[in-house]
């Protein structure tokens, strides 16, 4: 893939997610040119973090526009504290910046480096014998609001108890007290970067938000991170789904989950593979997202019919019980 950017920025389009998974990088390296002698900047490193790239490299040029040095960085399976002399005041960093090297003889085997990193990511993602949760069951909690910090912390304590009930292991929490919540992504990009670093360092695959996210916020967050986004409502519905035992209860919970999910469906595949329709495959057909939405609506309709039949059956059972004069005991 070749991209043409502006002097100070490159727009990276939505990338395929087919290769992403636990312990895996994206299978893509970003190599770009800096039209000055500075190395990798924060934007480069943030893109690598959010897109989970194998590595990012910047080729610097001199005043004569001739290439000079190659600057390379890659993600770390275990984020570490930087050298105090090189990055004073920095927190835990999820990447390593390699020393600059000659552009024509970098002396790096990128394929071997990526394979070694993936092996280490996979090893750390595997639950250790006797550990409480695998990577897919770990979550970082997030609470943002204008209430006093004590109230926000108390709300997160309650959310952590709900998470434990649902089978999630909380590995970290982020609390931010703001005058006004960001309407697009709840958190600003800087705080989102910190959140991504925390999730990476603790091996969490889930970001659990206190409160209810709007469909737009869910989509915006899904565009920024590869991790699963959950909110309090989804968590509670999942607990109900785990605890439901009767046929009626299971159907009611499923319908509530489907109704909540429908406006929050996110089409993450950039191809969105339109399914060809019409005679001979003419016409644009439906995108996979549209098909998913249609299937959810059809499932909701079927559940409504089943619940109606169950209500009729219950009414008939009550009538027979009343006619037979059976005693009723209520607990």
Q: What is the pLDDT of residues 195-241, one digit of tens each?
A: 888 887 777 889 999 989 999 999 889 888 878 899 999 999 999 99
> Of 103, 125, 147, at which residue does a domain stop?
125
In a domain, residue 66? The reply is: yes
Residue 262 lies in a domain: yes
Please indicate, yes or no, if residue 98 is contained in any of the structural domains.
yes
Kindly state whether residue 331 falls inside one of the protein's structural domains.
no
The pLDDT value recorded for residue 49 is: 84
pLDDT tier for residue 322 given thresholds of 50, 70 and 90: confident
Residues 108 and 152 in one domain: no
Instruction: Give the model's pLDDT for residue 125.
Output: 64
Mean pLDDT score, 175-202: 86
Tell me if 300 is assigned to some domain. Answer: yes
Residue 93 included in any domain: yes
Spatial distance between the Cα atoms of 174 and 156, rounded to a whole number of angstroms:
9
Domain range holding 301? Answer: 245-324
- DSSP character at residue 306: H
User: How many angstroms separate the CA atoms of 154 and 173, rounded?
Assistant: 12
With pLDDT > 90 as the criterion, what percentage of the chain qualifies? 33
Give the Cα separation of 299 and 310 in Å (integer).
Answer: 16
Q: List C-alpha distances in Å: 138 to 131, 160, 171, 195, 210.
A: 12, 12, 6, 14, 16
> What CATH number does the domain containing 142 carry?
3.40.50.11060
CA distance 223 to 56: 20
pLDDT band (50, 70, 90) for residue 309? very high
Same domain, 187 and 274: no
Same domain, 144 and 120: no
Whether residues 118 and 50 fall in one domain? yes
Residue 275 in this model has a pLDDT that exceeds 50? no
Q: Are residues 199 and 249 in the same domain?
A: no
Residues 246-273 have pLDDT tens digits of 999 999 999 999 999 888 876 544 333 3
Place of tokens 């040119």: 33
pLDDT tens by residue, 131-162: 444 445 889 999 999 999 999 999 999 999 99
pLDDT in tens, 231-251: 999 999 999 999 999 999 999
Cα angle 297-298-302, degrees, rounded to a multiple of 5 = 115
What value does the mean pLDDT take over residues 46-60?
A: 86
Q: pTM to 2 decimals?
A: 0.68
Whether residue 114 is found in the same domain as residue 158: no
Q: Is the pLDDT of residue 126 over 60?
A: no
Tell me how many domains the chain contains: 3
Looking at the predicted structure, is the pLDDT value of residue 280 above 60? Answer: no
Place of tokens 């897109």: 51
Same domain for 139 and 195?
yes
Domain end, chosen from 125, 146, 170, is at 125
What would the pLDDT profile of 69-88 be if each residue is shown by its tens digit?
899 999 887 766 555 444 44
127's CB contacts (< 8 A; 6+ apart) are: 133, 134, 135
- 97 and 160 part of one domain: no
Residue 67 reports pLDDT greater than 80: yes
Residues 42 and 113 in one domain: yes
Give yes or no: residues 233 and 272 share one domain. Answer: no
pLDDT, residue 104, reads 83
Residue 26 predicted with pLDDT over 60: yes
Do 50 and 68 fall into the same domain?
A: yes
SS3 helix, strand, coil % of the chain, rounded to 5?
45, 20, 40
Of 199, 214, 239, the residue that ends a domain is: 239
Q: Which of 105-119, 173-187, 284-298 is predicted least confidently?
A: 284-298
Predicted local distance difference test score (pLDDT) of residue 266: 67
Query: For residues 281 and 244, which has the higher predicted lDDT (pLDDT)?
Result: 244
- Residues 185, 107, single domain; the answer is no
Is residue 4 situated within a structural domain?
no
Chain-wide mean pLDDT for the chain?
Answer: 80
What's residue 91's pLDDT?
55
Domain membership flag for residue 111? yes
How far, rounded to the nearest angstrom, does the alpha carbon of residue 279 sit from its chain's CA centroid?
39
């Amino acid at each position: 893939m070749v991209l043409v950017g502006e002097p100070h920025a490159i727009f990276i389009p939505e990338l395929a997610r087919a290769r992403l998974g636990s312990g895996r990088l994206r299978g893509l390296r970003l190599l770009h040119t800096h039209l000055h002698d500075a190395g990798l900047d924060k934007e480069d490193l943030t893109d690598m973090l959010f897109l989970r790239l194998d590595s990012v490299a910047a080729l610097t040029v001199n005043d004569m526009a001739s290439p000079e040095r190659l600057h390379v960085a890659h993600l770390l399976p275990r984020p570490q504290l930087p050298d105090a002399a090189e990055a004073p005041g920095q927190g835990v960093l999820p990447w390593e910046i390699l020393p600059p090297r000659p552009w024509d003889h970098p002396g790096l085997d990128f394929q071997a480096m990526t394979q070694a990193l993936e092996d280490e990511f996979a090893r750390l993602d595997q639950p250790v014998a006797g550990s409480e949760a695998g990577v897919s069951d770990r979550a970082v909690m997030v609470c943002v609001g204008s209430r006093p910090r004590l109230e926000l912390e108390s709300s997160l304590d309650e959310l952590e108890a709900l998470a434990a009930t649902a089978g999630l292991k909380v590995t970290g929490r982020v609390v931010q007290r703001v005058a006004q919540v960001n309407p697009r992504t709840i958190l600003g990009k800087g705080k989102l970067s910190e959140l991504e670093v925390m999730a990476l360092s603790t091996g969490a695959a889930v970001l659990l938000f206190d409160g209810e996210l709007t469909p737009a916020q869910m989509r915006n967050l899904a565009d920024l991170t590869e991790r699963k986004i959950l909110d309090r409502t989804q968590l509670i519905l999942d607990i109900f789904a785990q605890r439901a035992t009767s046929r009626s209860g299971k159907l009611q919970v499923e319908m509530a989950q489907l109704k909540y999910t429908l406006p929050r469906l996110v089409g993450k595949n950039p191809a969105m593979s339109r399914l060809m329709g019409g005679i001979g495959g003419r016409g644009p057909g439906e995108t996979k997202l549209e098909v998913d939405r249609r299937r959810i609506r059809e499932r909701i309709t079927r559940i409504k019919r089943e619940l109606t039949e169950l209500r009729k059956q219950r009414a008939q059972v009550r009538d027979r019980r009343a006619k037979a004069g059976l005693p009723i005991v209520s607990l």
